[in-house]
Structure 1
Amino acid sequence: MHAPPLAQLEPSIITSLPGPRAAELIARDERATSSSYTRVYPLVVDRARGAMMQDVDGNRFLDFTAGIAVCSTGHCHPRVVEAITEQASRLLHMSGTDFYYEVQGTLANRLAALLPNGENNRVFFTNSGAEAVEAAIKLARYHTKRTQMIAFFGGFHGRTLGALSLTGSKVIQRAGFGPLVPGVHHIEYPSCYRCVRRTADASLCCGKSLEQLEQLFARTVAPTEVAAVVVEPIQGEGGYVVPPAHFLRDLRDITRQHGILLIADEVQSGMGRTGKMLAMEHFGVTPDIVCLAKGIASGLPLGAIVASQQVMNWPPGSHASTFGGNPLSCAAALATLDLLEESLLQNATDVGEYLRAKLSELASEFAIIGDVRGIGLMIGMQLVENRESRLPIPKVRDAVVQGAFQRGLLLLGCGDSTIRFSPPLVITRRQVDIAIEILRDVLLHL
């Protein structure tokens, strides 16, 4: 009798963690890899399918991280693997910035259609989210002939120099790497949960952020010198923070008023994670430039920026990438888009609502859960000292993440003391129930 496939199994821990084989491989790895890597727990992956993962000692884990929101269609989806395998037998590489091949052009047309007036849009391919942000910075400066950029505290846009200059998440990410790219200004990102002006009327909320923007224009930098405002529709690294709906609409109005480009960093929030292809769709806002990566190719390295041809007006040779738009990654992305459109956007919506409801039930049991927020399968659970002070408890959050790992559930933190839930978009209600039971057991034994 054959054993069930890994994707159909449930978490099972059979050794102490890390197991003996994992410990051996970790020691070997750490002798040769950069000290800058941040491994949250001693997981050494052997194989994975769907939302399940198995380590080298046979321990099985339910993955609610999806490779930091990358494996959107689940691990090793058979249709993605088939697309990669077929493409690998035909063509591995031919630089798409210098030559043509069918799969890149096909994908470019699919991505161009993500924004209104798709036939008028253009796509530039990169290898990663950070490279997409770098390309967006260059394009914004080239198109506007302006030099200044505005970003938000709590935002994370990457670790290359330009992207890092926009990032305002953690000191450790910037410390020791200055001087960074000049001309970047930061303002607060609206967080209703943290807002000192907390009110039941959402229309009165988040004025502080836009007030800071207007003060910036009045005191520090003229709006006529600003090339772009870069914003995450939902902050990722900053704590899975969902802004009030009118914030992005008001921001869009301000940027239009001053001829400033609006760049949406959809690296983590895009490609179906919120139940729509782009998170901006939830707010009824069309940006000038969209940055994509992570879930775009179900685990293969790929990023892109999308903009109208009026904005993407740089000449040949002004920007290029040897590996951006690699044939294998493009093939994986096309299969990913098919799967998203067929069922996974709806699954992200339906199971996301179910997960958020279950987490809210958990919050009624445990007072340290201060807030549950999110859209689709991009959900944050904020842990606090108590619901009156709302003080963050990062050490407790980290203990919860570790406790979940020891029980077979993979989670990651974000923000000051938030746990992020970003499972593959193939996640089932049964798997949500398993995750909730594991989480409940962790919280009971803190």
Structure 2
Amino acid sequence: MLERPIIKTELPGPKAKQIIDEDTKYVTPSFIRYPYKLAIEKAYGVWIEDTDGNVFMDCNSGFAVCSTGHCHPEIVEAITKQAQTLIHMCGTTYYYHHMPDLAKKLDELVPIKAPTRTYFATSGAEAVEAALKLAMYYTKRQRFISFVGSFHGRSLATLSLTASKKIHQVGYMRRLLDVVHVPYPKKLHSPFGNLTDDESVSQATINWIENFIFKTTTPPEDIAAIVVEPIQGEGGYFPSPASFLPELRRICNENGILLIVDEVHSGMGRTGKMFATEYYNVEPDIICLSKGIGSGLPIGVCVARADIMNWPRGSHASTFSGNPVCIASALKTIELLENGLVENARIIGNYLKDELVKLLDKYECIGDVRGLGLMIGVEIVESKQTMKHAPEKRDKIELECYKRGLLIFGGGGISVIRFAPPLIFTKENVNVAVEIFDEAVKAAISN
């Protein structure tokens, strides 16, 4: 069994360079890519092999998608078996058991006590888009509240909510939807001044909504929904304070506003519970899922109270809704999550966080370590005294990790490194990952 990364060639290697050159010529330049250049050939478990035979430890899971690891044998078997009988017949037109099977399972799992219904999509953005349309249809309102640092997708409607990076917005002119953005409650880089604890920042945000937004620019009776991530993904892996979601729930109850919780990034066991919302004992009206639910296959779901998702035939649909192969993968994924991977994420996530916290005292450039389960952010700063963002230093660390065979991903605000390995990660994997990360930080700050 492989224990450490194996780097055989210069990076990128000769075969990888050829692929990268062809990609540059023929593929849209709008894709993000990384500070490092990786051309992947195959993957298994927590390991990724490039086209030149170099093997890397994966601590990003394809952006938190491959929750059960790469090519888990039971996932591959479920996909193969389903592909041999039915690949596609358009679930918005015909019936087959796959859709009610998964919808019934989600009804049992989601933190919504009332009976639910599920809309099937192919991505997180589509799931959020469905939630927005549903909220407008149900409430007969057209305005929304979202949060600074949020990421809900790049379609024109979801882009109206997204507020994590300038590049997402440049060139697209006016927003499609009427959205007010409110500061997300985080004590680091808070616009509310020198508040020293999460609960104070949370209360400041709630006060901003009730005493400023509602009384000046955006009357509550015009708002269809508040859309929130319980842990911001692109925003820097900030878990929301304990009182924040309950206070949003109160505001929604008092004003006839729907609470849409976006768990595309944080859901499906990644935080050590099936849904991050469970940490806050809050019941959303609508919950959006994707990424980790399909173990790599493109599937998103919007789950809502049944009385809310009561729109008429033809009001919302998609050709690929409820693809049977994707659903087969999702059902097997949920089975694996329930049979130990959620608990493993909690245990190993705590261990990984503890090991990364040890580096706080060792390096002046590590300003914070935070997160839940296997969704952990490391804030890279100029110094602990200033806590000023250090994106160039963050990129150097990311590149040094790559050179040593560790794949991590930056983003998340301005200078955060995010750890989101597959939920099959072990303590031995953590030890190797943190050792390499330690070496990479040391190398980056010495250059």
The one-letter code matched in structure 1 to 2:319 is T
Alpha carbons of structure 1 residues 263 and 117: separation in structure 2 relative to 1, 3 Å: closer
Aligned equivalent of 2:428 = 430
**2:201 maps to amino acid:** C
Contact 1:115 1:286 in 2 (8 A): no
Task: Show the counterpart of 1:189.
Answer: 184
Identify the match of residue 311 of structure 2 among 305, 311, 314.
314
Following superposition, the deviation at residue 208 of structure 1 comes to 2.2
For 2:419, give the aligned amino acid: F
Q: Secondary structure at the match of 1:312?
A: coil
In the alignment, which residue of structure 2 is the partner of 1:243? 240
1:356-412 residue CA offsets vs partner (Å, 9 max, x unmatched)? 000000112111111100000000000111112111101000111111011100011
* Greater Cα offset, 171-180 or 285-294: 171-180
Distance 2:13 2:336 in 1: 36
Q: 1:330 is paired with a residue of what secondary structure? A: helix
RMSD over aligned CA atoms reads 1.3
**Matched-pair contact (CA < 8 Å) for 2:378–2:417:** yes
| 1:395 alignment partner, one of 382, 392, 406 | 392
Match of 1:204 in 2: 200
1:21 equivalent in structure 2: 15
Alpha-carbon spacing, 1:409–1:201, altered in 2? closer, same or farther (3 Å)? closer
- Unaligned segments of structure 2, at least 5 residues: none
Distance 1:9 1:57 in 2: 19
Secondary structure, aligned partner of 2:226: strand
Report how far residue 111 of structure 1 moved: 1.1
Asked if 1:343 is matched to 2:340, the reply is yes
Aligned pairs for 1:219-230 within 5 A = 219-230=216-227
2:112–2:284 CA contact under 8 A, matched in 1: no
Cα displacement string for residues 94-120 of structure 1 (whole angstroms, at most 9, x for unaligned residues): 111111111221111111222356671
Provide Cα deviations, 1:292-321, integer angstroms capped at 9, x if missing partner: 000010000000000111111111100001
Deviation at 1:199, TM superposition (A): 5.4
Task: Give the gaps of 5 or more residues in structure 1.
Answer: none
Q: In structure 1, how many angstroms separate the alpha carbons of the residues matched to 2:110 and 2:315?
A: 24
Equivalenced residue count is 440
The 1:391/1:117 distance shift into structure 2, 3 A limit, reads closer
Q: Does 1:45 align with 2:28?
A: no
CA contact (8 A) 1:370 1:382 kept: yes
Q: Which residue type is aligned with residue 436 of structure 1?
A: V
Residue 262 (structure 1) aligned with residue 259 (structure 2)? yes
Aligned residue type for 2:436: I
Structure 1: distance between partners of 2:132 and 2:80: 35
Asked if structure 1 preserves the Cα contact closer than 8 Å seen for 2:349 and 2:374, the reply is yes
Structure 1 match to 2:299: 302
- Native 8 Å contact 1:298 1:332 kept in 2: yes
In 2 relative to 1, CA 415–283 (structure 1 residues): closer, same or farther, beyond 3 Å?
A: same
Q: Are 1:126 and 2:121 an aligned pair?
A: yes
The Cα of 1:200 is off from its aligned counterpart by 5.8
1:213 matched to 2:212 = no
- The alpha-carbon deviation at position 177 of structure 1 amounts to 1.0
| Equivalent residue letter for 2:214 | F
TM normalised by structure 1 equals 0.96
1:197·1:205 contact (CA, 8 Å) conserved in 2?
A: no
Q: Which TM-score applies when normalising by structure 2?
A: 0.96
Q: Which 10-residue stretch deviates more, 188-197 or 435-444?
A: 188-197
Give secondary structure in 2 for the equivalent of 1:445: helix
| Displacement of 1:248 | 1.0
Residue of 413, 418, 428 corresponding to 1:420:
418
Q: CA deviation at 1:203?
A: 3.8
Contact 1:132 1:291 in 2 (8 A): yes
CA change 1:431–1:417 in 2 (3 A) is same
Distance 1:401 1:364 in 2: 20
The alpha-carbon distance between structure 1 residues 203 and 184, as it changes in their structure 2 partners (threshold 3 A), is closer
Letter in 1 for 2:246: R
Secondary structure, in 3 states, of the residue corresponding to 1:206? helix
Alignment partner of 1:90 out of 85, 94, 109: 85
Mean Cα displacement is larger for which, 95-104 or 82-91?
A: 95-104
SS of alignment partner, residue 141 of structure 1: helix
Deviation at 1:285, TM superposition (A): 0.8
Other structure's SS at 1:362 match? coil
Q: Which residue of 2 aligns with 1:35?
A: 29
Identity of aligned residues (%): 48
- Cα 1:116/1:193, change in 2 over 3 Å: closer
Equivalent-residue separation in structure 2 for 1:175 and 1:228 (angstroms): 25
Q: Deviations over 1:129-176 (max 9, x none)?
A: 000111000000000000101100100010000000100111110111
From the superposition, tell whether residues 200 and 209 of structure 1 become closer, same or farther in structure 2 (CA, over 3 Å): closer
Choose the corresponding residue for 1:292, options 278, 289, 294. 289
